[in-house]
Amino acid sequence: MRSTAERSLLDCLRIELGLTGTKYGCGEGDCGACSVLVDGQVVRSCQVRARELRGRSVVTIEGLARDGLTAIQQAFLEAGSFQCGFCTPGMVVGATALLARTRRPSDDEIRAALDGHLCRCCGYGRILTAVRRAADLLEQGRGSGP
Ligand code: FES
Ligand code: FES
């Protein structure tokens, strides 16, 4: 096992802090399951060492729901956008970053933002529906935003 100083952010979150909402998928930066927000940007937590992030803001799927489900999380629930749910935290993190910068993204913009987030259950259609739905909820002022 790596020393604490050399641990990835993902290992620190899951092993040291017990924040297991962030998933270990490929461990190589290719699947998006481990995505978190670092200063508002999507980062693959398996690819960065925790010690490199001193002083930076890290938000996990748990942090997003700190005050209850966000509009995006609610939309994923309403759209039934998961089967096993393994990809869902990363997808929600990716969608959160997207809607923070683009309140009404096109389908192409949603696909581009979530490119690299893999769903082994092939739930991409419903995930797209959920992000569209989240944009609606935010426009209507329903649910907290990203
Ligand atoms: S586990 Fe980090 S990108 Fe797959
Ligand atoms: S819902 Fe199973 S991996 Fe996406």
**3 state SS for 81-139:** CCCCCCCHHHHHHHHHHHHHHCCCCCHHHHHHHHCCCCCCCCCHHHHHHHHHHHHHHHH
Q: Are 19 and 60 in contact (CB under 8 A)?
A: yes
CATH number of 4-63: 3.10.20.30
Q: What's 65-139's CATH class?
A: mainly alpha
Amino acid at 144: S
pLDDT at 67: 86
85 lines ligand 2 (CB under 6 A): yes
**The pLDDT value given to residue 144:** 79
Q: Best substitution site from 24, 26, 30, 87 to test ligand 2's pocket, by max atoms within 8 Å of Cβ?
A: 87
Rg (CA), the chain: 15
How high is the mean pLDDT of the chain? 94
What are the structural domain ranges in the chain? Answer: 4-63, 65-139
Is the per-residue pLDDT at 79 higher than 80? yes
Mean pLDDT in residue range 13-34:
97
In angstroms, what is the span from residue 143 Cα to ligand 2's centroid?
24
Average pLDDT over residues 111-120: 96
CB distance 87 to ligand 1 below 6 Å:
no
- Predicted local distance difference test score (pLDDT) of residue 6: 87
**pLDDT category of residue 145 using cuts at 50, 70 and 90:** confident
